[in-house]
Structure 1
């Protein structure tokens, strides 16, 4: 399957995905020098209005671009200009696999990070063992049930950050902390006080938390 060329400047384009077109937004870092790093960021639940334009997703991407990463956001199947229908995480993993394969074919020498918010965190974590990213960032991972089984997830031994709001009204924060406590290898955990699921009035704090925690992981510019 022939894919479009990876753009040389920030651009939104369509890939050939497993269910048809996949809408992808590539954004280059500015004003800092680019690092050999591409971060793919996954969005929250499409059936609840989640898209690659979600404000938490765009802030995660912005935080990483300000550190020199090129970011790739994309709409899961059935969202925005992406073809297909919601597939409860299974087809969405295939969508992520397609995006990662495209990135790695175009930028084989770059580090690849996977990030995700809410449902996007579940998709990225559930694909991590197969895709073997160089780092993981999970914002409000839905470990409190809601149909997403975190029990069998295999997390590769790479740097991993979890950011969770203590006042999350959608994902039970204690369920997230209990899940982390059950893991043989635990992530770096940032607990944000008085913070809701969508980080209302806390987006700048989220940016700062991500940048502070992941700076040590960055490849040299």
Structure 2
């Protein structure tokens, strides 16, 4: 069995300048995925453990996975734009990935603020020639954050999208009730991990197992 390629570091181009990104590729690329990290103003970066777990899990399903840093993080240029410029940047990253690997099946993964951005991206691509087929959201940002400092008007997901929504029972950053309120009118199941906090300390293996159990390799 061929081994995955080593993690690759690249600089891409976005609306605010350079986008600093990591790439995890399987031996044979059968799909394209982008994984987004948590809030950049609160220490979020593409090396975050949850984002890393999502990337490796999707790679193991056959996706070439790009993990960009949001604006102002690492070598990414620009300043935080509350999800607007970040959405445009992820669309630019996807366009670059398609120019490299072709029109392959698309998947998205997002943790916290990254999940909020990915919901916007999925809606932008709905009805296009290459809509998103799979979406993994962990510690989803919806409604008002527990500290009251941030408010997320997270859009509903497009129809026909295979989604996996995972939230910690003990999340003290985004209350579980917020995510249930967002998911309820859409009739979206939410997997609740007992005892898990927002960062899934000691529970990352559960995220890996859920992805492997719910989605078959490409």
TM-score (norm 1): 0.86
Are 1:113 and 2:116 matched, yes or no?
no
Note if contact 2:109-2:118 (Cα within 8 Å) is conserved in structure 1. yes
| Mapped partners of 1:77, 1:120: distance in 2 | 12
Offset at 1:176? Answer: 0.6
Query: In the alignment, what sits opposite 1:68?
Result: 62
Which moves more between the two structures, 65-74 or 118-127?
Answer: 65-74
Are 1:11 and 2:8 matched, yes or no?
yes
| Mapped partners of 2:52, 2:116: distance in 1 | 18
SS of corresponding position for 1:134: strand
Are 1:25 and 2:28 matched, yes or no?
no
After superposition, residues 199-214 of structure 1 pair within 5 angstroms as: 199-214=200-215
Offset at 1:38? Answer: 1.5
After superposition, residues 161-176 of structure 1 pair within 5 angstroms as: 161-176=164-179
After superposition, residues 158-197 of structure 1 pair within 5 angstroms as: 158-183=161-186, 186-197=187-198
Note if contact 2:166-2:190 (Cα within 8 Å) is conserved in structure 1. yes
Offset at 1:42? Answer: 0.6
| Mapped partners of 2:94, 2:84: distance in 1 | 16
Deviations 1:31-50 (A, max 9, x none): xx535111110110000000
Structure 1 stretches of 5 or more lacking a match? 1-7
| Mapped partners of 1:90, 1:73: distance in 2 | 18
Query: In the alignment, what sits opposite 1:133?
Result: 132
Offset at 1:68? Answer: 2.5
| Mapped partners of 2:93, 2:110: distance in 1 | 14
TM-score (norm 2): 0.87
Query: In the alignment, what sits opposite 1:86?
Result: 80
Aligned residues: 204
Structure 2 stretches of 5 or more lacking a match? 126-130, 145-149
SS of corresponding position for 1:205: helix
- CA RMSD between the two structures: 1.7
Offset at 1:155? Answer: 2.4
